[in-house]
Amino acid sequence: MPQQVRAVVARKVKSPVEVVTIAVPDPAAGEALVRVQACGVCHTDLHYRDGGINDEFPFLLGHEAAGIVEAVGDGVTSIGPGDFVILNWRAVCGQCRACRRGRPWYCFATHNASQKMTLDGEALSPALGIGAFAEKTLVAAGQCTKVDPAVAPEVAGLLGCGVMAGLGAAMLTGEVGPGDSVAVFGCGGVGDAAIAGATLAGATTIVAVDLDARKLEWAREFGATHTVDAGACDPVEAVREITGGYGADVCIEAVGHPEVFEQAFFARDLAGTLVQVGVPTPDMRIELPFIELFGRGGRIKPSWYGDCLPSRDFPMLVNLHLEGRLPLERFVSETIALDGVEEAFVKMQRNEVLRSVVVF
């Protein structure tokens, strides 16, 4: 029997989201039904609402979540009812070319639930194949990663997307190492996680770049050693100056804007790395002098989900948090109810929060 639960849906492009009742099927083979305990509001949810990802409305939003497995379908052995899990959008297939070559973080065929959750009989498109602004959600079993239940759900859920994307952008994609200099452009949840990741990885100079003074202040709490107000000066010049005239070894773009990409490109030292983690919209273009791309050398690396492998990285990061070495709780600016998501988007755009987290 499908269950009726309350959930946040975006029905039409750029229209306010609504709390509605949706139908969630019982788990079939390979699927899991999860009672969501907490789900963070990520900028990617807003991109979905605004039609920036695709036009497969209606969307069931929410994807940074943790909860308790309620039931599993046939053949599921990795998790069972009662397990505390973080939901992920990289349930790797183990069979595609990337997986077979030992690079599952590039998996081309990640798993999602095969049955659809519905609104008045119409199939919903769950954000990033999750859809967790819902009392219960249906996912592929591989989308559930078991972690130590000692961690608070509103903190754990954030590892499911933005915080993992930022940590991984620095630690995995950017391969930040001891003594490196790092500049992070855009200090929202993702950018601050990149700063925390750079700190863990041993970077000695970490420059936070943002337009908002509050954001720059928070960035310091995650380990930024310097801050740059991009509205008040040329951020490329500022990063160069802070890094002894060289530019940073690793620049991380966590905004998703062509102008910021360009700044990050030129703020690198020669042979430096640019990590693109901010999500562009389909209409955006970048234009660069070809000779600069060649002449500066180095690497330009888009980072999806911080190149993470949830089964490997989530338990490790939760343990670091429980040991007091990764202040994940600082990302939680406020906890809200399910009907507060639209207002949370407004607060996000006004730069008032790092993460609003829906708790159930």
Ligand X SMILES: NC(=O)c1ccc[n+]([C@@H]2O[C@H](COP(=O)([O-])OP(=O)(O)OC[C@H]3O[C@@H](n4cnc5c(N)ncnc54)[C@H](O)[C@@H]3O)[C@@H](O)[C@H]2O)c1
Which stretches of the chain bind ligand X, using CB under 6 A? 42-44, 47, 161-162, 165, 185-191, 209-212, 215, 230, 254-257, 260, 277-279, 303-305, 348, 351
Please tell me whether residue 334 adopts helix, strand or coil conformation.
Answer: strand
**Nearest distance from C-beta of residue 116 to ligand X, angstroms:** 24
Query: Binding string to Zn ion for residues 52 to 91, with x set by CB under 5 A, is what?
Result: ----------------------------------------
Amino acid at 109: A
- Residues near 213 by Cβ (< 8 Å), separated by ≥ 6? 229
Choice from 68, 93, 119, 359 touching Zn ion (CB under 5 A): 93
Task: Render 70-93 in DSSP notation, one character per residue.
Answer: EEE-TT--S--TT-EEEE-S----
145 binds, among ligand X, Zn ion, none (CB under 5 to 8 A by kind): none
CB closer to ligand X out of 42 and 60: 42
CB closer to Zn ion out of 22 and 161: 161
Please report whether residue 23 would count as binding Zn ion according to CB under 5 A. Answer: no
Task: Check if the beta carbon of residue 31 is closer than 8 Å to that of residue 115.
Answer: yes
**Nearest distance from C-beta of residue 356 to Zn ion, angstroms:** 13
CA proximity to 242, closest of 275, 271, 209, 217: 209
201 binds, among ligand X, Zn ion, none (CB under 5 to 8 A by kind): none
- Within 10 A of 254 (CB to CB), how many other CB atoms are there? 31
Please report whether residue 162 would count as binding Zn ion according to CB under 5 A. Answer: yes
DSSP-derived letter for residue 225 is S
Choice from 42, 85, 207, 353 touching Zn ion (CB under 5 A): 42
For the packed helices 213-221 and 189-200, what is the interaxial angle rounded to 10 degrees?
Answer: 30
CB closer to Zn ion out of 42 and 248: 42
CB closer to ligand X out of 22 and 354: 354
- For β-strands 226-229 and 299-302, DSSP reports them as unpaired
Q: How many residues bind Zn ion (CB under 5 A)?
A: 9
Amino acid at 267: A
27 binds, among Zn ion, ligand X, none (CB under 5 to 8 A by kind): none
CB closer to Zn ion out of 105 and 265: 105
- Within 10 A of 38 (CB to CB), how many other CB atoms are there? 23
- For β-strands 181-185 and 118-119, DSSP reports them as unpaired
Task: Check if the beta carbon of residue 266 is closer than 8 Å to that of residue 244.
Answer: no
Please report whether residue 256 would count as binding Zn ion according to CB under 5 A. Answer: no
Task: Render 155-205 in DSSP notation, one character per residue.
Answer: HHGGGGTHHHHHHHIIIIIS---TT-EEEEE--SHHHHHHHHHHHHTT-SE
Residue at shortest CB range from ligand X:
188
Task: Check if the beta carbon of residue 280 is closer than 8 Å to that of residue 172.
Answer: no
Label residue 158 exposed, middle or buried (CB < 10 Å: 0-12, 13-18, 19+): buried
**β-bridge mates for residue 273, sequence order:** 250, 299
Stretch that binds Zn ion, among 12-20, 103-111, 147-155, 215-223 (CB under 5 A): 103-111
Stretch that binds Zn ion, among 83-91, 95-103, 175-183, 254-262 (CB under 5 A): 95-103
**Nearest distance from C-beta of residue 93 to ligand X, angstroms:** 19
**Nearest distance from C-beta of residue 283 to Zn ion, angstroms:** 21
96 binds, among ligand X, Zn ion, none (CB under 5 to 8 A by kind): Zn ion
CB closer to ligand X out of 43 and 296: 43
Where on the chain is the footprint of Zn ion (CB under 5 A)? 42, 44, 93, 96, 99, 107, 109, 161-162
